[in-house]
């Protein structure tokens, strides 16, 4: 898989012109959702490098990360005369970069694309690392491919368009990066006040978070081993997300991951001796900033079933990434049904 270039930008005009100029193309397409069309497209629409761009817009929120939206993008590319030598710029959050990357990767067997993430979640997670895809059959990211963007441009000015919930959603992935890196990184993240964000400090922390992910992806681009570290919190988090989607109470991805971190750190304390003081410190931060996901014991079977569909599973066993300590990553850890139910008990009762 081609290594992507990640640009930490303080001048979006210069960064985007360079990225677009590096890819010879006959036609330029820009994918947005309805929200980023309104809030973010005006930031770059007048740039010379965007002249003549054909716009493609899909609905906002993860509910639109569907086969129907994907088909709409393919149709717009086809009707716009896209060839294998065309270029697509994905301007938006993780839903846009995931779906747009998949559309570009599969249209005419693949056209190049550039990601310009506009949410914190997409900056530190979705847009970096080459994972693309859509939700399918009620399951998160069920269909997709690994294929890197030519360039990912990270510009902190877009973060100021976010409300608290979307800022917090992205920050959950940064907490995960802290947990899989160093105690110092993790502790710095727990000291940061998302509700009164210092954007200069946040930009520096985003760069550090992206470095953690890039280092892991470069070592294991196709998720055969170490890259599974990035799934901490996601086995349970995706199950929460899928349950919420099925019950028409959709939750933001980062919130589901934050709740999943609490569960999987509990499992880590039980199975791999993760320190309980660090479990409770992280739990307290998440409870204060993300609240709690509501479910009851009657939904345990459904949550367990959703976990069995996780892509990391092998031999019919639910597979987790756990920690022995901050930065001590234990991939390919399994748990019994009873242990998973005990974990859900802890989450509900704590």
Q: Kindly tell me if the per-residue pLDDT of 88 is higher than 70.
A: yes
Structure token digits, residue 183:
């105690």
Instruction: List % helix, strand, coil for the chain (3-state, nearest 5).
Output: 55, 15, 30
pLDDT digits (tens, 9 = 90+) for 213-233: 989 988 888 888 889 999 999
- 165-349: CATH architecture: Up-down Bundle (1.20)
Residue 203: its pLDDT value, please?
87
Query: Using CA atoms, how far apart are residues 213 and 124, in angstroms rounded to an integer?
Result: 8
What does each C-alpha distance from 145 to 70, 99, 118, 272 come to in angstroms?
Answer: 14, 10, 22, 32
Picking from 276, 285, 270, the residue whose alpha carbon sits closest to that of residue 175 is: 285
Mean per-residue pLDDT, 18-45: 97
Mean per-residue pLDDT, 69-84: 98
Picking from 179, 198, 160, 184, the residue whose alpha carbon sits closest to that of residue 286 is: 179
What does each C-alpha distance from 341 to 21, 283, 302, 346 come to in angstroms?
Answer: 53, 18, 11, 9
Specify whether the CB–CB gap between 116 and 90 falls below 8 A: yes
Poorest-pLDDT segment among 45-49, 66-70, 127-131, 258-262: 127-131
Residue 327: its pLDDT value, please?
97
Q: Where along the chain do its domains lie?
A: 5-161, 165-349
pLDDT digits (tens, 9 = 90+) for 163-209: 999 999 999 999 999 999 999 999 999 999 998 988 888 988 998 99
Instruction: Name, in order, each residue with C-beta under 8 angstroms of 153's C-beta and a sequence gap of 6 or more.
Output: 7, 9, 12, 15, 16, 19, 114, 115, 116, 117
Mean per-residue pLDDT, 78-90: 98
Q: Could you give the dihedral angle defined by the CA atoms of residues 297, 299, 302 and 307, in that order, rounded to the nearest 10 degrees?
A: -60
| Interaxial angle between packed helices 337-349 and 300-308, expressed in degrees from 0 to 180 and rounded to the nearest 10 | 130
Q: Residue 280: which H helix or E strand, with range? A: helix 276-290
Q: Kindly tell me if the per-residue pLDDT of 87 is higher than 80.
A: yes
Question: What is the average pLDDT score of the chain?
Answer: 94
Radius of gyration of the chain (CA): 20
Instruction: Name, in order, each residue with C-beta under 8 angstroms of 250's C-beta and a sequence gap of 6 or more.
Output: 61, 62, 63, 244
Q: What is the DSSP letter of 235?
A: H
Mean per-residue pLDDT, 86-94: 96
Residue 2: its pLDDT value, please?
63
Q: How confident is the model at residue 1 (pLDDT cuts 50, 70, 90)?
A: low
Residue 129: its pLDDT value, please?
86
Q: Kindly tell me if the per-residue pLDDT of 127 is higher than 90.
A: no
CATH of 5-161, one of 3.30.1180.10, 1.10.490.10, 3.40.50.1970, 2.60.40.10: 3.40.50.1970
pTM given for the model: 0.87
Q: Kindly tell me if the per-residue pLDDT of 144 is higher than 70.
A: yes
pLDDT digits (tens, 9 = 90+) for 305-325: 999 988 778 777 899 999 999
Specify whether the CB–CB gap between 157 and 244 falls below 8 A: no
pLDDT digits (tens, 9 = 90+) for 258-279: 999 999 999 999 999 999 999 9
Residue 98: its pLDDT value, please?
96
Residue 4: its pLDDT value, please?
78
Mean per-residue pLDDT, 45-66: 96
Residue 3: its pLDDT value, please?
67
How far is residue 219 CA from its own chain's centroid? 19
Are both 5-161 and 165-349 of the same fold?
Answer: no
Residue 161: its pLDDT value, please?
84
Specify whether the CB–CB gap between 341 and 300 falls below 8 A: yes
Q: How confident is the model at residue 299 (pLDDT cuts 50, 70, 90)?
A: very high
Mean per-residue pLDDT, 82-92: 98
Picking from 166, 121, 167, 115, the residue whose alpha carbon sits closest to that of residue 5 is: 115
Alpha helices for 45-91 (secondary structure H): 67-79
Specify whether the CB–CB gap between 167 and 194 falls below 8 A: yes
């Amino acid at each position: 898989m081609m290594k992507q270039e990640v640009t930490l930008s303080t001048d979006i005009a210069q960064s985007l012109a360079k990225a677009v100029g590096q890819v010879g193309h006959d036609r330029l397409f820009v994918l947005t959702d309805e929200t980023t069309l309104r809030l973010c497209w005006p930031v770059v629409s007048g740039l010379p490098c965007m002249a003549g761009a054909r716009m493609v817009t899909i609905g906002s929120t993860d509910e639109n990360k569907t086969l129907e939206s994907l088909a709409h993008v393919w149709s717009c590319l086809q009707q716009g005369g896209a060839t294998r030598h065309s270029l697509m710029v994905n301007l938006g959050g993780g839903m846009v970069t995931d779906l747009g990357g998949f559309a570009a990767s599969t249209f005419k067997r693949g056209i190049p694309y550039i990601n310009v993430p506009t949410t914190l979640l997409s900056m530190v997670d979705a847009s970096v690392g080459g994972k693309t895809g859509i939700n399918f059959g009620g399951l998160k990211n069920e269909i997709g491919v690994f294929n890197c963007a030519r360039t990912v441009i990270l510009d902190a000015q877009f973060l100021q368009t976010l409300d608290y919930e979307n800022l917090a959603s992205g920050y959950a992935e940064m907490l995960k990066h802290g947990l899989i890196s160093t105690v110092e990184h993790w502790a710095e993240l727990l000291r940061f006040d998302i509700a009164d964000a210092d954007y200069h400090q946040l930009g520096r922390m985003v760069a550090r978070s992206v470095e953690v992910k890039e280092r892991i992806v470069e070592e294991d681009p196709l998720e055969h081993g170490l890259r599974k570290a990035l799934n901490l919190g996601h086995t349970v988090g995706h199950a929460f997300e899928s349950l919420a989607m099925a019950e028409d109470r959709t939750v933001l991805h980062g919130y589901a991951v934050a709740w999943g971190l609490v569960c999987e750190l509990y499992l880590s304390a039980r199975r791999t001796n993760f320190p309980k003081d660090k479990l409770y410190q992280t739990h307290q931060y998440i409870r204060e900033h993300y609240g709690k996901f509501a479910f009851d014991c009657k939904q345990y079977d459904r949550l367990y079933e959703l976990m069995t569909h996780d892509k990391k599973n092998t031999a019919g066993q639910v597979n987790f990434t756990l920690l022995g300590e901050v930065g001590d990553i234990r991939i390919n850890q399994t748990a019994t049904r009873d242990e998973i139910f005990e974990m859900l008990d802890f989450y509900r009762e704590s």
